């Protein structure tokens, strides 16, 4: 069974497809949407392990992904490393620090901390700008002989009936396909604005008020919200006001020039589903990456390719 069908064209599907090609499989991608219409297209996307479980696995995946991005720096469109400050309250619980290579992270000085922030770590972390990186990945996949087909899958049995091994990378779409009661949205509203002259940072210390700034090559992303079980995909003007008010609270008083307001639903689960299906042994599930799909994608993709190579040898 050398053939693999990857279902999903977001960051999880594209990285899985390429890692499998690199391991010698013949891969096609099948998805309801082109990459432009995925959640992955809409977001930051900085290397930041946020709202993802289980911690032990996601730490390993994030560390693998960090090194993959390092190897792609200056080669892959949209991939760069940026200085990023992460606020924390309890140093011992700060997993971010342990996932970064030794010697690459340090405590922020008082002068470096935005107003109102008490403690923070700073490190250079990967940034994978989706409007550049996702088409780069798709083109690479196609150039290596991959094919893409637009199709909607409505059930697990339909998924399992596809060609060869089937990798389910459908993000929140898996809720319907797999009737997965654990999978739920964590709603994020963000503002895409013209570049600001301030450093990138995240303050994830207040639940419901996830705040961050990500400086990208052409624009800047200001976050955000992290509302559990909120299916609202409409822009909420009150959230926009809250985000801008919090920005001022950090001592950033320049009025950002708004380019776009974006809403996305993070595919959240008590644990990423990363396993063969118990009833359909040709199906492997790879979904539920919460707020960290870009952060862990290459880690999952690399491990998946290893698992499939071993399964292939047993068959």
Ligand X SMILES: Cc1cc2nc3c(=O)[nH]c(=O)nc-3n(C[C@H](O)[C@H](O)[C@H](O)COP(=O)(O)OP(=O)(O)OC[C@H]3O[C@@H](n4cnc5c(N)ncnc54)[C@H](O)[C@@H]3O)c2cc1C
Q: What's the CA gap between 51 and 53, in Å, rounded?
A: 7
Min dist. Cβ of residue 110 to ligand X (A): 26
Q: Choose the binding region for ligand X from 118-126, 141-149, 193-201, 262-270 (rule: CB under 6 A).
A: 262-270
Give the C-alpha separation, 31 to 152, whole Å: 6
Q: Point out the residue whose Cβ comes nearest to ligand X.
A: 173
Q: Select the residue interacting with ligand X from 126, 146, 264, 299 (CB under 6 A).
A: 264
- Is 216 a binding residue for ligand X by CB under 6 A? The answer is no
- Residue from the set 120, 126, 224, 299 that interacts with ligand X by CB under 6 A: 224
Residues 6+ apart with CB under 8 A from 223: 44, 188, 189, 190, 191, 202, 210, 211, 212, 213, 214, 243
Most distant pair of Cα atoms in the chain: their distance: 62
Convert residues 180-199 into a mask of x (bound to ligand X by CB under 6 A) and - (unbound).
--------x-x---------
Contact pick of 18, 27, 31, 308 for ligand X (by CB under 6 A): 31
Q: Output 80 or 152, the one with its CB closest to ligand X.
A: 152
Task: Identify the three-state secondary structure at position 10.
Answer: coil
The H or E element containing residue 259 is: strand 258-268
How far is Cα of residue 255 from the mean position of the Cα atoms in its chain? Answer: 28
What is the C-alpha to C-alpha distance for residues 195 and 183, in angstroms, rounded to an integer? 35
Q: Which of 6, 39, 196, 272 binds ligand X (CB under 6 A)?
A: 39
* CB nearer ligand X, residue 120 or residue 291: 291
Q: Which is nearer to ligand X, 97 or 176 (CB)?
A: 176
Query: Pick from 294, 300, 303, 305: which binds ligand X (CB under 6 A)?
Result: 294
């Amino acid at each position: 069974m050398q053939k693999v069908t990857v279902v999903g064209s977001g960051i999880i599907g594209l990285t899985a497809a390429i890692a499998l090609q690199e391991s010698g499989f013949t891969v096609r991608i099948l998805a309801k949407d082109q990459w432009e219409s995925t959640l992955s297209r809409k977001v930051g996307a900085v290397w930041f392990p946020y709202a993802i479980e289980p911690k032990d696995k996601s730490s390993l995946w994030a560390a693998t992904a960090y090194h993959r991005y390092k190897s792609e720096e200056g080669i892959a469109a949209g991939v760069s490393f940026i200085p990023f400050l992460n606020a924390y309250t309890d140093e011992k619980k700060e997993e971010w620090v342990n996932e970064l290579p030794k010697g690459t992270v340090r405590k922020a000085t008082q002068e470096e901390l935005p107003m109102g922030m008490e403690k923070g770590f700073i490190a250079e972390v990967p940034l994978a700008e989706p409007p550049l990186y996702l088409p780069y990945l798709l083109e690479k996949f196609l150039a290596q002989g991959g094919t893409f087909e637009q199709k909607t899958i409505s059930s697990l049995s339909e998924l399992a009936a596809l060609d060869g091994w089937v990798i389910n990378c459908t993000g929140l779409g898996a809720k319907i396909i797999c009737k997965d009661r654990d999978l739920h949205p964590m709603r994020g509203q963000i503002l895409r604005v013209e570049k600001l002259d301030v450093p990138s940072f995240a303050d994830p210390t207040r639940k419901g008020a996830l705040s961050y700034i990500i400086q990208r090559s052409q624009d800047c992303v200001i976050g955000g919200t992290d509302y559990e079980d909120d299916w609202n995909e409409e822009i909420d003007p009150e959230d926009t006001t809250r985000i801008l008010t919090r920005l001022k609270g950090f001592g950033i008083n320049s009025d950002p020039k708004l380019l776009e307001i974006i809403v996305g639903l993070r595919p959240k689960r008590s644990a990423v589903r990363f396993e063969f299906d118990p009833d359909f042994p040709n199906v492997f599930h790879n979904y539920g990456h919460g707020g960290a799909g870009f952060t862990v994608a290459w880690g999952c993709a690399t491990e998946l390719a290893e698992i499939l190579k071993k399964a292939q040898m047993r068959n």
